[in-house]
Copies of this chain bind each other. A is one copy, B any other.
Amino acid sequence: MKALVYHGPGKRSWEDKPKPQIQAPTDAIVRITKTTICGTDLHILKGDVPSVKAGRILGHEGVGVVEEVGSAVSSFKARDRVLISCITSCGKCEACKKGMYSHCESGGWILGNTIDGTQAEYVRIPYADNSLYGVPKTVDEDALVMLSDILPTGFECGVLNGQVKPGDKVAIVGAGPVGLAALLTAQFYSPAELILIDLDENRLAVAKTFGATASHGKPVSLKLEKLWAHNITLTTRLVDTVTTPMLLKTVVAGKLPPKKLITHQFRLDELMKAYDTFGNAAKEKALKVLLTAG
């Protein structure tokens, strides 16, 4: 099959690789129909992510069709349409039982990192029962790719940790895909004001079409020496994709328009070109680029 392979800092190619095989009874093989590129993939290509070794197929987002399942997979079967989560969850370690899938003992973010990823014609998904989601037939596949990573990241790390409430005044620093995903999902809770802060004029303009009530284009510094007395909470976390079922429901109900994030469309075999575009996001005015198998 064809796949986008990382060959060390600055080097990538679209090349032939062996089609993945079932390795464990909990695995599934998925034929990719749609995938995308994440800012993290660009970091990998810069050599910033040492866990990713040369020879690795990149990508941790996508939707597809189940090709084959291992003997212990019970929720999916061949020909099922599925959403691939960027986070792999075994469902049985202490972290998974708490809904902290990103800290799964044998999973977490491994796709396109420590195992081959989704920027390929096929991908092997470990712990398929807990790491894939059935896709409602009525939902547009383009929209669903945005649920693999970018929307749960903005929602979980931004909106849920920020405890957005009706009537609130919310500031989001950074109008890139994650910031815009936070902007879209913050609106679940009817805040009164949504202020986006970014240095890129184009992104601020986009933010307004996404529901921002105001945007701000100057640098902001966080004066912790004064803020401490104002009951500040700082939170950090990895995305767990534990809200994927909730997000799927909101997409089905028409409460969330994920397709707004897609600015460019390519064929899957144009992945090299898509990387060129996404790598020049500011110039190309790119948010998310969508790749569709032929």
Binding site for B on A (CB under 8 A): 25-26, 71-72, 74-75, 91-94, 96-97, 99-100, 103, 129-130, 165-168, 187-193, 227-238, 242, 245-250, 252-253, 255
The answer to whether A91 and B130 touch across the interface, beta carbons within 8 angstroms, is yes
The answer to whether B94 and A91 touch across the interface, beta carbons within 8 angstroms, is no
> In the complex where A91-B91, A232-B235 touch, is A249 in contact with B72 (Cβ < 8 A)?
no
The answer to whether A253 and B25 touch across the interface, beta carbons within 8 angstroms, is no
The answer to whether B97 and A99 touch across the interface, beta carbons within 8 angstroms, is yes
A130 to B7, CA, bound (A): 40
A103 to B100, CA, bound (A): 21
Chain B residues, CB < 8 A from A233: 233-236
The answer to whether A245 and B188 touch across the interface, beta carbons within 8 angstroms, is no
The answer to whether A92 and B75 touch across the interface, beta carbons within 8 angstroms, is yes
The answer to whether B232 and A238 touch across the interface, beta carbons within 8 angstroms, is no
A129 to B249, CA, bound (A): 29
> In the complex where A97-B99, A97-B245 touch, is A192 in contact with B250 (Cβ < 8 A)?
yes
Q: How far is the CB of A186 from chain B (nearest CB, A)?
A: 11
The answer to whether A250 and B190 touch across the interface, beta carbons within 8 angstroms, is yes
Q: How far is the CB of A73 from chain B (nearest CB, A)?
A: 9
Q: How far is the CB of A236 from chain B (nearest CB, A)?
A: 4
The answer to whether B165 and A246 touch across the interface, beta carbons within 8 angstroms, is yes
Q: Which 4 A-B pairs have the closest CB atoms?
A: A167-B249, A192-B253, A91-B91, A228-B236
Q: How far is the CB of A292 from chain B (nearest CB, A)?
A: 27
A235 to B25, CA, bound (A): 40
Q: Choose among B129, B245, B250 the residue that contacts A92 (Cβ–Cβ < 8 A).
A: B129
Q: Choose among B92, B192, B253 the residue that contacts A91 (Cβ–Cβ < 8 A).
A: B92
A103 to B191, CA, bound (A): 23
User: Can you sample 20 A-B contacts with CB below 8 Å?
Assistant: A91-B91, A91-B130, A97-B130, A97-B242, A103-B230, A166-B188, A166-B189, A167-B245, A167-B247, A167-B255, A168-B249, A189-B189, A189-B190, A192-B249, A192-B250, A229-B236, A231-B236, A231-B238, A232-B235, A234-B234
